[in-house]
Chain A
Amino acid sequence: MLFIEPFTEYTFMQRALVGSLAVCLGAVPVGVFMTLRRMSLTGDAMAHAILPGAAIAYLLTGVSLIGMTVGGLTAGLLVVALSGWVSRSTHLEEDTSLAGFYLISLALGVLILSLRHSNLDLFHVLFGNILALDNAALLLLASICSISLILFALLYRPLVIECVDPLFLRRSSIASALSHYGFLALMVINLVAGFHALGTLLAIGIMVLPAAAARFWVRTLDHTLVLSVLFSFTGCYVGLMTSYYFDLPAGPAIVLSLGFLYIISLLLGVEGGYVKWATSKRHLEA
């Protein structure tokens, strides 16, 4: 009973669990491709690009779910469109062009906030409020999750092809552009979902940590996708339980649980984990 009691007794815990699982289901597959495309830190940059949009919306509309979602999406997609365009049409690499625009976005956000001299409580934006999700917020998370899964399924093939052989789809083709911008858009909408739950700074944790952990256990892409979603569910559950019983903030507890899973995988994983590597002195005949 100990393990389900918080969720049967308290609605806010149920909501937190459902909300975080929805975020995971949408965000984790995208996270797997981020790690495979070596874009884990790009996601972090993107999270910073979203922050000012959400903050400006907060300034204008207060704590409005719609306002902050639109603000975050606008800032994120604008940065994505500009940096995507720059990396596809100039010699600048994707990470550099993204860094250029997210820094502009971040600085602009900070500047606008300081001009208004308002002492805003941005705690919500920075660290989310998974334990206070209302119906509207849950609906938003579920919608983003559904849109993300559909878009992901649609873009799956060109995404895989672009990762392995970027020249194959030809830069000029629609599929190539769709998968390029579509993937960045997937990152943005999932980060926006993530910031409602975990805040802009920790949202990326749900995307990257389960994917990184899963790669120490399985080899193929489909297995990695399934296992990392399972890992993320486990992390959310364990994180929420820990936060309930030890009275800890839920967002960091979830990300730390995922981090713990990652470290365990790093050490014990059967696909290149440390212990196996360090203890195995034998090799096969062929």
Chain B
Amino acid sequence: MSIELNNLTLVYEQHPAVHHVTATIEVGDLLAVVGPNGAGKSTLLNALAGLMSVEQGCIKGLNPNEVAYLPQQTQIDRSFPLTVAELVATGLWQSIGFQQSIGREQHTQCEDAIGAVGLQGFENRMINTLSGGQIQRVLFARVLLQNRPIILLDEPFNAIDAKTIADLTRVIQSWHQYKRTIVMVSHDLEYVRQHCQKTLLIARERIGFGKTLEVLTTENIKRAQRMCEAFDESANWCMKDVA
């Protein structure tokens, strides 16, 4: 089922971070969400992940249990004493819950996921000894294990080297092949042009939506930068939907 953002508004203390955005995400889309800092990209992703309540409008066709969400790395407590294998295995939570034991088949799944992101041999390494790129590989392996039809990635390649980006891009492409819906927040316009067919360009409001090359025009990008002025303490109440 496609996901519909219908006139969606998300706010922090009544200031809109996402303002009357409408878009339809089809099944199997690889959609990039692009925009300047403070444009509401992560906020939008949080709402899709069910982490934040919708102020106005709605999101249709999205069951939170179908979503795997990869947060920005700053959200992860890397000092916690877990091994790579253990952190990856937390991706099994939805299928094993509080008390079911991890069966042989699931062990194999864990190993396969760790292999797929190129971390063979790292299973018993503590996560606090990993580099940023390796942690990102671990988190991708967890998403693999979660095995959901909808995957949300928040800035997955921030401060990540080219080799890791290439490896993890292959993982994203295999998800795409299997018709999973992927929504990815990114700053890297070059990457988006190369790998994502569709783009939602926002600067709080929707600037463009559709085929990436048609959306990411110089004009649109300039417009997005202009629109993303700082949050205004003396802004008036929005009257768009009142009347």
Beta-carbon contacts of B41-68 to A below 8 Å, as 1s and 0s?
Answer: 0000000011100000000000010000
User: Which of these, B81, B82, B83, B93, contacts A169 with CB under 8 Å?
Assistant: B93
Does A221 make an interface contact (CB < 8 A)?
Answer: yes
Does B209 make an interface contact (CB < 8 A)?
Answer: no
Residues of A within 8 A of B93 (CB): 157-158, 161, 168-169, 175
Closest 7 CB pairs of A and B: A164-B80, A221-B81, A167-B71, A161-B90, A163-B80, A165-B76, A164-B77
Evaluate contact between B99 and A154: CB separation under 8 angstroms.
yes
Give the Cβ gap from A218 to chain B, nearest Cβ, in Å: 8
A166 to B81, CA, bound (A): 15
Evaluate contact between B69 and A219: CB separation under 8 angstroms.
no
13 contacts between A and B (CB under 8 A): A36-B80, A36-B81, A158-B93, A158-B98, A160-B80, A165-B76, A167-B75, A168-B71, A170-B49, A170-B64, A220-B81, A221-B80, A221-B82
B77 closest partner in A (C-beta):
A164
A171 closest partner in B (C-beta):
B51
Contact A167/B90 with A154-B99, A160-B82 known, Cβ cut-off 8 Å: no
Does A118 make an interface contact (CB < 8 A)?
Answer: no
Evaluate contact between B99 and A167: CB separation under 8 angstroms.
no
Chain B's interface size range is 20 to 34
B100 closest partner in A (C-beta):
A157
User: Which of these, A154, A158, A170, contacts B50 with CB under 8 Å?
Assistant: A170
Evaluate contact between B77 and A165: CB separation under 8 angstroms.
yes
Q: How many residues of A contact B (CB 8 A)?
A: 23
Contact A220/B49 with A168-B90, A169-B93 known, Cβ cut-off 8 Å: no
B90 closest partner in A (C-beta):
A161
Contact A219/B81 with A160-B90, A161-B93, A169-B93 known, Cβ cut-off 8 Å: yes
A137 to B42, CA, bound (A): 53
A188 to B52, CA, bound (A): 30
Interface positions of A from 48 to 102, Cβ below 8 Å from B: none
Evaluate contact between A164 and B51: CB separation under 8 angstroms.
no
Interface positions of B from 124 to 140, Cβ below 8 Å from A: 126-127
Contact A166/B99 with A157-B93, A161-B90, A161-B93 known, Cβ cut-off 8 Å: no
Does A224 make an interface contact (CB < 8 A)?
Answer: yes
Evaluate contact between B69 and A167: CB separation under 8 angstroms.
yes
Does B87 make an interface contact (CB < 8 A)?
Answer: yes
Does A172 make an interface contact (CB < 8 A)?
Answer: yes
